[in-house]
Structure 1
């Protein structure tokens, strides 16, 4: 077995590999750029080596810099994680030439399967059904339009060396094909150093289901069942689960058998993923094979108890797989939510800055990487669930504009899908993140969405259910009453604290009023609070009541309450006259007032927000790549105005209506902050 390995990556995946290596008694070497000098993976590794400036194309994907770090450290093997150099055959070949083991597949398998065009041809030869498309490379935008027309819209424009949603666009007409080709090409060159593009038919109403395969160098190969990855935004996976709520045993076996056959056809060894599009009738079509560890691998680990990173290391060391296909059963259900540094209220645009607060929920028997051990060895009682959080950040750390915006993967496991989902809801509510925009509210909304709860989803789920973007969650009356009751009980605790501090009376509790008005989400409730040693009974004016218990004290940012015996987890912030409470995707200003204060508050006018309707504001921190218009230009609705790049993604800002540009505030190459003015209109 190896004594020292180098992780040619960063962030949460580097931290995740380090955890397994440490458990196996293997020393680890981290590499880092200027931006990652104080990163978590650097602190966790046994040693760390600087490899260059912040941009990935000057550090993490420069093969010579990584090879020099390997030589300096004396590492015997390299785990590439995902992204960066993980599917680069030149890197794998350089390692082979240097006599360093690559913890991944052979070079020939990467070349065959890592290139999406070649992999589709091999899949066709192996009898695997594939999606119709143009298998050659596309030279320019005109050719992209011609081929798209021949295939028939809609089409998917994809980077041949792509992954993680980068370099991928859907085009519904010639204009979108032309624009999508150029954007995909630019992103592919920036992210992978490879701007080759191909086009395939976009299957409407698809589900994205993938098969995890694992093979050794002795001819053994197995599949570890499937993952459903249909909840996607901009072709980037957001929510994954294992197994899929769609598949039956027969379809699962057929997909698994095809995936293994494909792996064997290319002499595959290590962990890999075969991705399929599956329609509502369970017809499946091969998309591509990822010759690396997938971001969403934890859900597979949670339902099988197999540490995939450990197996990758053992395969690279020449060991035989310790199990056969018949040994791999599905145990329970697992769900993963990706926490992104993206602001859902600004159309999910990237957000950067300092994590002023970062408190994930505690991990509980969280699969192969937890101290408790594998779920099936941890003695988890029937009806309970597990929590796992794979992360690469820490409180006080910086979220950089140079890398992918994902900062954590929150996973829950349960004996059933319903149990895993219930645990996920509580875990999301308990996840505290401050200082940056993030998608936790959106994830909570998805977990409660009737279609997701029913397992009725396609890759168009987010576009269909949130066509105008995410504007927060509006809770129904029953949920509002539960939160209002909790807020009233919390306010009573705060009032007692204030009375104690003021020291106005020896028996201060008698001076705390019983009658209050709680206003939230445009609704207010008159209620009374009757407290005792165990909690409080909150009675509403219409006679309904709730029993509230919990140990919250003023100043705590998380309140774990029970309302009528059911858990209610609230993120708590202080505002004048009440609380800012966040729960189940809702962000509420909750005012708790005396009856007289409530009467006066109703008379107060609301302050109007500033008028920015005649300005184009930068929606996220980023670099102005291109200005498509200038002063004096007349623009039409939907016309491209500016392209801003952040976190390896190009974002085209468009005109909302017809107008004329009167003043430019930014130039190409400028770095802008959120809400900086780019241009003004008449």
Structure 2
């Protein structure tokens, strides 16, 4: 077996590979840019080599620099992770020439299947059903418009060398095709060093389902079930699960066998994924093949018990697969929530900064449930603007889909992240959404269920009552401690009251507390009672309670007159007052937010790529005003209404912080 491997990647996937290598007794080498000098993958590896400035096109995807690190450390093999050089045939060729093993497929398979245009042609020749589209290269925006019209809108404009949602746009008309072509081309060049673009029909109401394959160099190929990846935004997966709640065994078998046949047709070895779109009648269409490890591979590992990274390493070493198709059994259900450094309240725009608090839930694995967190960050670390915004993958497993969802709900409630915008509230909201719970989902789920963006969650009256009861019990504990510290409880001179009014989400609950050594019984004015037990003490940011015997996890921080509490996607200001205080609070005027309607504010930290208007221009609703680039994605900011530009405060090339004023209107 290899004695030392280099991981040509960063973040959580580099950490993931290091864990398996360590388990196998293999030494590891990390590479890092200026921005990643203190990164977790650098700390975990046995050795680390600096390879250049922060931008990936000056460090992580520069083949000569990676090859120099391999030579310097004497690594015998390279695991590329995903993204960066993972599907770059020239990199595989350079490794082969240097006598270094590539923990991935042969360069020929990468060339044939890693390039989406070529892979489509091969699939068609193999009589695999494919989505209608134009497989040839497209020279300019006008040709893109012409092709789009011939295919019929809507169309998907995609980078040939793309992946991870980069370089992808949906166009619904000619203007969208022009803009999408240019943005996709720019993103593709920036992220992959390859700006080739192709166009295909965008199938509405599809499910995105993919098959995991594993092949060796001795002619063996197996499939390890499917993953449902339909919960996406901007073609970027957010929630994945395995198996799919939609497939039956007949369709699963047909998709698996077709995937293996396609892999063997191109001499594929290692782990790979064949992606399909599936319609409501379970007809499936080949979309593309990813010639690498997928981001969402942990859910497959959780339901099969197979360590895919270990298998990749063994195949690269020349070993035969010990697993046969009959050995692959799908056990239970697994969920994955991708934790992104992005603000769901601002249209999922990227967020950067320091993680002032980062406390994932405890990892565990029993026959009743499992929690796994693949991460590449730590508390106090920086989230950089230069790389993908995903910082962790929270996974759960349960004997049934309902069990896996419930474990995920509790895990998300228990995950503490502060200092940056993040999508944990949104992931929590999805887990409670009736359509998701029923399995009735498509790739249009986010677009259809959150058409105006994510604005938080309105909790049910029953849930609010449970939280109000908990807040009252917690407030009582805090008041007792405060009174003891101040000395006002000496000789029973002051007692903490029993009657409180708890206000949250615009609703007030009048309650009476009766406490004992084991907990508190909270009685509401309508006669209902809730029994609250917990070991929470004031100052703890995570309150793990039981209300009427059922778990309730609340992220908690003290505010004036109560708590800020976060639960299941809701962010609540919870005020706990005496009846007299509540009476007076109701008379207080509400503070109005500042008027920013005549300002264009930068919605994320990023780089101004271009400004499309000038002072004095009359702009129309929907007109492009400027383009901001952050985390390898271009974001076009548009006018929300008609107006006249009175002042522009920025120039192309400037870096802006969130909420900086870009331009003003009359």
TM-score class, shorter? over 0.9
Q: Distance between the aligned counterparts of 2:310 and 2:342, measured in 1?
A: 32
Per-residue CA shift, 1:531-586, capped at 9, x if unaligned? 01111000111111111011100000000001110100000011001000000100
Q: Distance between the aligned counterparts of 2:489 and 2:41, measured in 1?
A: 54
What secondary structure is seen at the aligned counterpart in 2 of 1:167? strand
Could you tell me which runs of 5 or more consecutive residues in structure 1 were left unpaired when the two chains were aligned. 366-379
Q: Distance between the aligned counterparts of 1:345 and 1:563, measured in 2?
A: 30
Task: Choose the corresponding residue for 1:612, options 593, 596, 600.
Answer: 596
* Residue 123 of structure 1: how far off its partner (Å): 0.8
Per-residue CA shift, 1:170-214, capped at 9, x if unaligned? 111111001100000000000000000000011110000000000
Equivalent position of 1:545 in the other structure: 529
Per-residue CA shift, 1:307-352, capped at 9, x if unaligned? 0000000000000101100100100000000000000111110000
Q: Distance between the aligned counterparts of 1:510 and 1:126, measured in 2?
A: 83
* Residue 276 of structure 1: how far off its partner (Å): 0.1
Instruction: Tell me, yes or no, if structure 1 residue 217 matches structure 2 residue 217.
Output: yes
1:86-97 mapped onto 2 (5 Å cutoff)? 86-97=86-97
Task: Choose the corresponding residue for 1:522, options 500, 506, 518.
Answer: 506
Q: Distance between the aligned counterparts of 1:504 and 1:135, measured in 2?
A: 79
What secondary structure is seen at the aligned counterpart in 2 of 1:188? helix
Contact 1:500 1:508 in 2 (8 A): no
What secondary structure is seen at the aligned counterpart in 2 of 1:407? strand
* Residue 525 of structure 1: how far off its partner (Å): 1.0
Q: Distance between the aligned counterparts of 1:415 and 1:322, measured in 2?
A: 26
1:236-247 mapped onto 2 (5 Å cutoff)? 236-247=236-247
Q: Distance between the aligned counterparts of 1:553 and 1:638, measured in 2?
A: 51
Cα pair distance change 1:104/1:543, threshold 3 Å: same
Equivalent position of 2:383 in the other structure: 399
* Residue 508 of structure 1: how far off its partner (Å): 4.8
CA RMSD of aligned residues (A): 0.7
* Residue 270 of structure 1: how far off its partner (Å): 0.2
Per-residue CA shift, 1:266-307, capped at 9, x if unaligned? 000000000000011100000000000000000000000000
Instruction: Tell me, yes or no, if structure 1 residue 235 matches structure 2 residue 219.
Output: no
Per-residue CA shift, 1:620-649, capped at 9, x if unaligned? 000000000011111000000010000000
Q: Distance between the aligned counterparts of 1:35 and 1:388, measured in 2?
A: 27
* Residue 526 of structure 1: how far off its partner (Å): 0.9
Equivalent position of 2:307 in the other structure: 307
Contact 2:473 2:513 in 1 (8 A): yes
Relative to the length of structure 2, the TM-score reads 0.99
Contact 1:213 1:259 in 2 (8 A): yes
Contact 1:332 1:417 in 2 (8 A): yes
Q: Distance between the aligned counterparts of 1:288 and 1:465, measured in 2?
A: 27
Q: Distance between the aligned counterparts of 1:441 and 1:635, measured in 2?
A: 35
Contact 1:134 1:147 in 2 (8 A): yes
Q: Distance between the aligned counterparts of 1:80 and 1:220, measured in 2?
A: 23
1:51-90 mapped onto 2 (5 Å cutoff)? 51-90=51-90
Q: Distance between the aligned counterparts of 2:511 and 2:303, measured in 1?
A: 46
1:109-124 mapped onto 2 (5 Å cutoff)? 109-124=109-124
Contact 2:103 2:312 in 1 (8 A): yes
Equivalent position of 1:179 in the other structure: 179
* Residue 510 of structure 1: how far off its partner (Å): 6.8
Equivalent position of 2:28 in the other structure: 28
Q: Distance between the aligned counterparts of 2:517 and 2:572, measured in 1?
A: 28
* Residue 590 of structure 1: how far off its partner (Å): 0.3
Per-residue CA shift, 1:138-168, capped at 9, x if unaligned? 1100000000000011110000000000000
Per-residue CA shift, 1:28-58, capped at 9, x if unaligned? 0000000000000000000000000000000
What secondary structure is seen at the aligned counterpart in 2 of 1:499? helix
What secondary structure is seen at the aligned counterpart in 2 of 1:604? coil
Relative to the length of structure 1, the TM-score reads 0.97
Equivalent position of 2:410 in the other structure: 426
**Moved >4 Å (runs of 4+):** 507-510
Q: Distance between the aligned counterparts of 1:271 and 1:509, measured in 2?
A: 71
Instruction: Tell me, yes or no, if structure 1 residue 49 matches structure 2 residue 49.
Output: yes
Instruction: Tell me, yes or no, if structure 1 residue 670 matches structure 2 residue 661.
Output: no
* Residue 509 of structure 1: how far off its partner (Å): 9.8
Equivalent position of 1:289 in the other structure: 289
Task: Choose the corresponding residue for 2:459, options 475, 485, 488.
Answer: 475
Instruction: Tell me, yes or no, if structure 1 residue 661 matches structure 2 residue 645.
Output: yes
Contact 2:488 2:494 in 1 (8 A): no
Aligned length: 666
Contact 1:339 1:409 in 2 (8 A): yes
User: Which 10-residue stretch deviates more, 344-353 or 509-518?
Assistant: 509-518
Contact 1:357 1:432 in 2 (8 A): yes
* Residue 124 of structure 1: how far off its partner (Å): 1.2
* Residue 505 of structure 1: how far off its partner (Å): 2.9
Could you tell me which runs of 5 or more consecutive residues in structure 2 were left unpaired when the two chains were aligned. none
* Residue 507 of structure 1: how far off its partner (Å): 5.3
Equivalent position of 1:330 in the other structure: 330
Q: Distance between the aligned counterparts of 2:630 and 2:178, measured in 1?
A: 22
Q: Distance between the aligned counterparts of 2:491 and 2:139, measured in 1?
A: 83
What secondary structure is seen at the aligned counterpart in 2 of 1:118? helix
Cα pair distance change 1:509/1:459, threshold 3 Å: farther
